[in-house]
Structure 1
Amino acid sequence: MKHPLFIKLFALAAVTLLLLIGLALISDVVHDRQRYRSLTAQSVADSLAGPQTLMGPLIHSACVESWDEETGKGDERRMVERRREFLLTAMPEQLKLRSGAAMEERARGVHKVNTFNLKAHITAEWGSLASLQPQSTVKNSRMHCGAPIVMMAVGDARGIRTAQLTLGEQALPLKPGTFHPTYSRGLHAALPEAVRGKADGLTATLDLELVGTERIAIVPLGGNTEVQMTSSWPHPSFAGRFLPSEREVKPDGFSAQWRLSSLATTAQADIAGGSRVCVSGYDDASAPGEYAPGGATPRDCADSFSVAFVDPVNPYTLSDRATKYGLLFIALTFVAVGLFELMKKLRVHPVQYLLVGSALCSFFLLLVSLSEHLPFGAAYGIAAAACVLLLGYYASHILGSLARGLPLGAGVALLYGLLYVLLQLEQTALVVGSIALFLVLAAVMVLTRKVNWYGLAQGGGASPAARMPKTQPLPTPSEAA
């Protein structure tokens, strides 16, 4: 063969292409498992209750203003009744919520979903209820209003386990629904007509037990809103328009506190105007809330804040991130084998490169399959150990000795260790990976600094200076004679 190096490089390129196809198939498997996990979460939410949003308590009253209006001319004149329907609302001046969330794990097959059982004690205080007094907009109109209703809206009413409402010292019977045109899911109680326009205010307390899936959001409706939340879950994700003013996260759980003023939020005006509730999702994504249309923008949404009970060691997310390093793994391992082949003057067949790359690809498939049944760290260790042992054993044969196979196996083990560190890092993964790649490149350049690449392309390994003919000294006159 005239150019064996180019033929070898072409064969290795074909092998790499085949391995890339294998990595793409493995990545598709990971994405499929992620989709199945999402379907599992949706299945649990469909059977139990979905993510929850708490909004209220608030008082509203539906009113109708009607009046007679003359239309037509001459003999065709007649009186027509006109109507205007509107909703009066009274937001609490003080809103306090004390809650504790106990976590419960639900599963469908190998997929697990975090659900919570929230027990909340809510106190709402209203000052003057003058906002419940209807104001006429047409002279001599007739006004009719329904009974004032105190309501509490939730994201998924199926999650309500128990609820008890007390107005002052009097317990009020609760009924399903809210009679609100926008926020229909929840519970309500009818108030006596005497509270309309009451000047000395009103105080209501609500004890609520609510279950849901993965996330709880709260709308700060009070003139001053105070929320305290505790849970045994050690990995909360705080999101929404407001972060906690105080929080403490420990291995055995977290506690958080929000203190908000109506000067800092437009939630009261948003809810009074019928704005939708949109909840910022977890995993850095924005998801429509329970009442939000799919195309809602932040301007269309009422203010809220939320806590997501996320799993920081999501095996599918970590497996997907690991698979993205697959090409780098293959390239570095091929470089290591090529260096042995070059420095020790060995010959490694492209099929052997293909087998080495296939072993590297199998690691990612082992990782995602084992992590469904074992903790991610244990699954990673088992998959990495199996591949390192296999590659070390195989390399000792293709490279001619155990002394050459062991360093290659150790190098692959180092790569797996580096990958595990990168998977645990979030903010510094890029800089650590860049430095490691630079060090690998520097090591390759140092080891190959004396290689005659032109000689390799021509089938020889000598340097150009070594192959140049030596200059012969000119003969002396006596030698010439």
Structure 2
Amino acid sequence: MFKHPLFTKVAALAIVTLLLLIGLGLIADVVRDRQRYRAEAARGVAQSLAGPQTLLGPLLHSACVETWEAASGKGAERRVEEQRREFRLTAMPARLQMQTAALMQERARGLHKVNAFTLKAQVTAQWASLAALVPQATVKGSRLQCGAPILMLAVADARGIRLARAQVSGQSQELALKPGTFHPVFTRGLHAMLPEGLRGQAEPLEVSVDLELLGTEQLSIVPLGDATDVQMQSAWPHPSFAGRFLPAERDLQADGFTARWRLSSLATTAQQDVAQGRRLCLADAQGYAMDDGAEVAAPSSVEGGRGGCTDAFSVAFVDPVNPYSLSDRATKYGVLFIALTFVAVGLFELMGRGPQATRLRVHPVQYLLVGAALCSFFLLLVSLSEHLAFGLSYAVAASACVLLLGYYAIHMLGSVRRGLPFGAGIAVLYGLLYVLLQLEQTALAVGSIALFLVLGAVMVLTRKVDWYGTGHASAASPEAA
């Protein structure tokens, strides 16, 4: 049975296919390596400039100590010891309003580009009263002592702070801002000491902050107020809204976007999360917890704290055409490309004979060369897309491969009449692949329908083939390719 020419041909094609699959695997490794280099470039820019930013605050807090005397022991061993309890009082704003504008800046590390932004924010925080900063004794007769109230604004990466001004409503002087927050969990940011006389006042307090903050790729905001209203506008036309809340209003245009979030503390646990010291986490566009851009199994933090993440919403300034992700998707179609091309060559070989049965035969080496040309397309695509726009890179790589395969098919199949349709079929395959890469929601449906149509065409063309007679005819034919 294994001496039969048909089985010998099938075995040879199986070896050819295995070699091509190994080649595709190596190309896929190259694409993944380039993706890692791109991620390393983004981390390098973040380390030199500032990373993804999370904005928390403003809020008021004050460190307090309660001391009391407690007796221990009996009789002559009875003694009085001082006991103490350290705690922190926090006052969340009743209303938090932000007017923000994100100005985009493109940074590069080698061949790889990273989207950086400068956030210009006008933040207004209002407290109905500061009763939350009045300490309450837990032991009768204890003594309470608290530090001055501190106004703080926390960020994920303090290196990004370029400008900050803060002012209490009704006062002419600006607050003296200093680095750090004096908060045990959210340590990065800025703070200002407030007068002790503000503690416990019944009158409302309003603070306005002007902030200029640099970051890369993503901005998150914690909805800390009883009522939070955040408006954002940017010239970046491709935002990705993520986190726990989507904007209530958004307008996406070719020249940028505007978005507005309106949230109530009834809908978010941000205040409780901050009070409990939960972490500031980064999230990608799909909502997965991220740490410096790398997906992790559990929520990750940019500030240490207790388990779980603080409620937040975010905007990622993503590149709509990531050449590495598109190249990776294209490479996954490589096996289908090779299979369909081999089927096409097999059909020409099967049906390419005249009435006198001068049979067309294609050698396995020719199959290997055709498959190698198909594989080279994916390597050309990823290499060119590092220097050119992805669409242009795809057109150049596909055109080169179509011309090469069309020219080779004319000689492999023995005539222009067969070679040109073969080249046209390859061009259609590349066109279909490009359409699939541009689609997201309907890619599976379009791909499945196209594959079904190809299978139907093969079945119709071979419906009268005598497959048993094909092997005998091959054995009797003296022709070689």
TM-score class normalised by the smaller sequence? over 0.9
Residues 413/457 of structure 1: CA separation in 2 closer, same or farther (3 Å cut): same
Q: Which residue of 2 aligns with 1:186?
A: 189
Residue identity in the other structure for 1:319:
S
State the secondary structure of the residue aligned to 1:374. Answer: coil
Q: Which residue of 2 aligns with 1:220?
A: 223
Q: Which residue of 1 aligns with 2:355?
A: none
2:123 is aligned with 1:122: yes
Q: Which residue of 2 aligns with 1:327?
A: 335
Residue ranges of structure 1 left out of the alignment (5+ in a row): 463-481
Residues 49/294 of structure 1: CA separation in 2 closer, same or farther (3 Å cut): farther
2:306 is aligned with 1:309: no
Residue identity in the other structure for 1:84:
R
Residue identity in the other structure for 2:312:
S
Residues 300/431 of structure 1: CA separation in 2 closer, same or farther (3 Å cut): same
C-alpha distance in 1, partners of 2:236/2:118?
12
User: Map of 1:373-412 to 2, 5 A cutoff?
Assistant: 373-412=387-426
Note the aligned Cα RMSD (angstroms).
1.8
Q: Which residue of 1 aligns with 2:245?
A: 242
State the secondary structure of the residue aligned to 1:254. Answer: strand
Post-superposition shift, 1:61? 0.2
TM-score, length basis structure 2: 0.93
C-alpha distance in 1, partners of 2:297/2:321?
29
C-alpha distance in 2, partners of 1:283/1:261?
23
Q: Which residue of 2 aligns with 1:465?
A: none
Residue ranges of structure 2 left out of the alignment (5+ in a row): 302-306, 353-358, 477-481
**Higher radius of gyration, 1 or 2:** 1
**Cα deviation code 1:400-425 (max 9, x no counterpart):** 11121111110000000000000000
2:210 is aligned with 1:207: yes
C-alpha distance in 2, partners of 1:69/1:399?
100
C-alpha distance in 1, partners of 2:253/2:84?
58
Post-superposition shift, 1:436? 0.2
Q: Which residue of 2 aligns with 1:477?
A: none
Residues 154/296 of structure 1: CA separation in 2 closer, same or farther (3 Å cut): same
Residues 282 and 300 in structure 2, CA contact (< 8 A), matched pair in contact too: no
State the secondary structure of the residue aligned to 1:334. Answer: helix
Residues 290 and 300 in structure 2, CA contact (< 8 A), matched pair in contact too: no
**Cα deviation code 1:436-476 (max 9, x no counterpart):** 000000000011011111112334699xxxxxxxxxxxxxx
Post-superposition shift, 1:77? 1.6
State the secondary structure of the residue aligned to 2:285. Answer: coil
Post-superposition shift, 1:295? 3.5
Residues 409 and 422 in structure 2, CA contact (< 8 A), matched pair in contact too: yes
State the secondary structure of the residue aligned to 1:44. Answer: helix
Residues 291 and 300 in structure 2, CA contact (< 8 A), matched pair in contact too: no
Residues 56 and 221 in structure 2, CA contact (< 8 A), matched pair in contact too: yes
2:112 is aligned with 1:111: yes
Q: Which residue of 2 aligns with 1:32?
A: 33
Residues 277 and 289 in structure 1, CA contact (< 8 A), matched pair in contact too: no
2:185 is aligned with 1:177: no
1:232 equivalent among 232, 235, 251: 235
C-alpha distance in 1, partners of 2:240/2:115?
13
Between the aligned residues of both structures, percent identity stands at 69
Q: Which residue of 1 aligns with 2:99?
A: 98
Q: Which residue of 1 aligns with 2:285?
A: 282
